[in-house]
Amino acid sequence: MIKNYSNDHYFDFISSFHSSSSSNFAFHFSVSLSFILRPTSAIPFVIIYPYLFYKTSNRLRFLVQAFLCFILLNLINICLDSYMYNQWTFVPLNFFYINFLHPNSISSHYGINNFFWYFTNGLPMIYFYRLPFVFLGAMSNKRLTIIILFTIFIYTLNIHKEFRFLTQILPLLFILEAHGIDWCLKMIKWKQFRWIIFLSFLGHLLIGIYFSLIDRQGQISVMNYLRIGENKSVDFLMPCHSTPYYNFLHRNDIQLHFLTCEPNLNQMTNDYIDEADRFYLKPIESLKKRLKDYNPSHLIMFDTLYEQLKDVLEDDQGYFVKNILFNSHIQHSSRHGKMIYILQKD
């Protein structure tokens, strides 16, 4: 059995919860704010709050501070959202309804995964060869393990799962990993083991640099290209959300369109197909119809789609290649590509 070789108060953030009023208030404020920014951030605190309530010496003050922070911040949030939407709006409630209670099963529109996906795909993809350290660390820190497992369990109840959903518990997983590495360094006397640990993390760093600075960079570079120069209208014939769009462009004088992928919020039919899927089913017919509606000055697409449309684009529609940008060595789906083509109307 693994002993807890790490100093528990050094790693366990729960034990560092102070009894002073100011630190408690800051904690409640941060938790309430994180809930407003992303409602699912409340999941780990379903476990944490009862534990803190049990450990605190002044439970009444704890409840009052938590209640005031949560109510005050959410009232401000409701007023701001209601003003912007021009109707009474509570975003976390809408978020819960759309993702869990909507009759059309909105989550399934973006993909259905099996119940154990986070253990068979999610965690192994994120941690790769470092995952055994996490398992070893879990045996030496039961409280963090319970919080992590509870959070993952709640996520598994949703049929749609993504890697990014795990980001909120990554700091806790890093702590477990540190416990696991600490145990290995103390128990394995082989001198070269420390170098193996160092080289493995160096390899992980190189992988991180590649995926941060090289992989999919064309999807950012194309926005840099569009941001410079004269006014233009652009249509992105790519899987939806392939680029940061206006978040990166910051120019109101450039009109942007893209293939949308909204879920079936209004129709009760089971054969609903979003705009992006309809386009890729019949790309040539869809392109001709789309250009009658938009007639943009520029088209942006991956090389995989360009190979299907190049004859129609050049001969019938008068769009010619203006620039080609490298995007990725790895194609994540058949709709993505190695290169991004920028076409301009002649």
% of the chain exceeding 70 in pLDDT: 92
Give residue 100's domain range. Answer: 8-211
The angle subtended at Cα 218 by Cα 253 and Cα 293, nearest 5°, is 45
The identity of residue 217, as a single letter, is Q
Q: Which residues pair with 342 in a beta bridge?
A: 300, 323
In a domain, 338, yes or no: yes
Could you tell me if 189 and 336 lie in one domain?
Answer: no
pLDDT exceeds cutoff 90 at 2: no
- The tens digit of pLDDT for each residue in 26-67 reads 889 999 999 998 888 999 999 999 988 888 888 898 899 999
- What is the average pLDDT score of the chain? 86
Could you tell me if 335 and 300 lie in one domain?
Answer: yes
* 3-state DSSP helix/strand/coil % of the chain, to nearest 5: 60, 10, 30
State residue 170 phi and psi, 5-degree precision: -60, -40
Domain's final residue, options 190, 211, 232: 211
Could you tell me if 336 and 263 lie in one domain?
Answer: yes
- Which pLDDT score is estimated for 220? 93
- The tens digit of pLDDT for each residue in 147-157 reads 999 999 999 98
Number of domains into which the chain is organized = 2
- Which pLDDT score is estimated for 74? 94
- The tens digit of pLDDT for each residue in 107-133 reads 777 778 889 999 999 999 888 888 899
Mean pLDDT, to the nearest integer, of 320-343?
93
pLDDT exceeds cutoff 80 at 270: no
Domain's final residue, options 211, 236, 259: 211
- Which pLDDT score is estimated for 22? 66
Run of H or E including 300 = strand 298-302
Parallel, antiparallel, or unpaired for β 319-326 and 339-345? antiparallel
Distance separating alpha carbons of residues 112 and 110, to the nearest angstrom: 7
- Which pLDDT score is estimated for 207? 87
pLDDT exceeds cutoff 90 at 204: no
